[in-house]
Chains A and B, each alone.
Chain A
Amino acid sequence: MTLKKVALNDIHEKLGAKMVPFAGYNMPVRYSSDKEEHLAVRNSVGIFDVSHMGEFMLEGPEALSLIQRVTSNDASKLEVGQAQYTCLPNEDGGIVDDLLVYKMAEEKYMLVVNASNIEKDWNWLTKYNTNGVKMENISDSMSLFAVQGPKATQALQSLTATNLDDIKFYTFVVGEFAGTPNVIISATGYTGAGGFEIYVDNQYAGQVWSAIMEAGQEQDIKPIGLGARDTLRLEMGFCLYGNDIDDTTSPHEAGLGWITKYTKEFTNWQNLKQQKEEGIKRKLVGFLMEDKGIPRQGYDIRNEAGETIGQVTSGTLSPLLNIGIGLGYVSKVYSKSETTIYIAVRNKILKAVVKKLPLI
């Protein structure tokens, strides 16, 4: 398979990024240092090119009904200009993907999906689209920049007449930005640091990227790679599809009960509702290492008696805390905050403690 390139591939290479294959795309994983990039976002502002993400437009009188039937959250609550985090449950108790739903207009929605799942999600939606909703996959023509950090508003305000302070969390506006029409400015993100996600047509991507880099000079804006994107989301305890959630994990097990609403019928809702009522057997938890060591995906989680009680699904060194942190599934009895657990890090058993999310 040939690697796809984002519109600004050459810009990233010129900036000295280390490029790696990710979800079929050649993506910048790091420009300078994972730690520096991570801290730039926590303390100031950074820009990520996440144009590998997929975007589908759904339009027509039945668009909402299709979204309601395939997603777990209640999209009927959305007003125009609002976005919602949700997931596509599968028929077997797991998750096809997690995604954002944007209500662009009455009868018009944009779905933003993981790059690795674009084809899978498209086929899934197509299968359920029995009511003639007009679907368009615009992934290949849309660029997406995440501008994240406490100084994001300051960095971007000069580029638009829209008052960025007015864009509340999980809302968006479509307007002129950096001299470019029809840009979606969305107060969303995957870092917990605040900021915006900027959706722009590929033909304007270079112009918008350069404008942001220039406008953010005073805030010392830095380009940020996927490496720091992962450590930032992990400090917050945000799920990563393929690590922490997948075709076999239920929304309730993953702590996504808050986006699973039984106010309507959707794929596998009866079984999921039953699971919620009867109680889950395992749960995704966040944990901090107490002993020195770094948890990694696939390491066993054990109890004091040495029995395996689960597996690490994501792990890293937290650049902010400077200790190992992770997410993993454990048997329900070990899922309470402050429970001591043990991580099998290669040949050692290291002590860790379950913590409420976020981990920082």
Chain B
Amino acid sequence: MNFPEELKYTKDHEWVRIEGDTITIGITSFAQQELGDIVYVEVETVDEEIGQGEVFGTVEAVKTVSDLFMPVSGTITSFNEALEASPEIINEDPYGKGWMIQATISDKSELDELISAAEYQELVG
């Protein structure tokens, strides 16, 4: 399975791309595979400040629904609206077109708690 080196990860199976004060967040290839066909993504927290570990949305597969957790505290600036019509792009391209939200970081020190690709790889075996 593919876990790009340049991204950071959480134990909740999210990836984080850090560009200055902005982060882009999605779910990992492992997560999308565990969930199966993703059929619905709901994010209604744009413009809200969400604390680290709090729920910013939900992702639904055919059989399951899972909460999405904020990897670090931040204000959500955008939701990938392409997911409304085509949630399956998360299955097809989890690190690219399947990104979920962008946010502005509130506290940069929290970034230290994210794990590397190698550490994440070890976590999911």
Chain A residues packing against B (C-beta within 8 Å): 18, 30, 33-35, 38, 227, 230-231, 292-294, 296, 316-317, 319, 346
Contact = CB atoms under 8 A, between A and B. Distances in A.
Nearest to B60: A294
B36 A317 contact: no
A230 B36 CA distance: 14
Return the 7 tightest CB-CB contacts between A and B, nearest first.
Answer: A34-B62, A35-B37, A317-B39, A34-B36, A34-B37, A33-B37, A227-B63
Nearest to A230: B63
Given A227-B36, A294-B39, A35 B58 contact: no
Interface in B58-72: 58, 60-63, 65
Contacts of A231: 62-63
B3 interface: no
A293 B90 CA distance: 18
Contacts of A33: 36-37, 91
Contacts of B65: 294, 296
A201 to B, nearest CB: 32
Interface centre among A33, A35, A294, A316 (most CB of B within 10 A): A294
22 contacts: A18-B33, A30-B36, A33-B37, A34-B37, A35-B37, A227-B63, A230-B63, A231-B62, A231-B63, A293-B40, A294-B39, A294-B40, A294-B65, A296-B65, A316-B62, A316-B63, A317-B39, A317-B40, A317-B60, A317-B62, A319-B62, A346-B58
Nearest to A34: B62
A18 B63 CA distance: 14
Contact of A227 (B40, B60, B62): B62
Contacts of B34: 18
Contacts of A346: 58
B63 A34 contact: yes
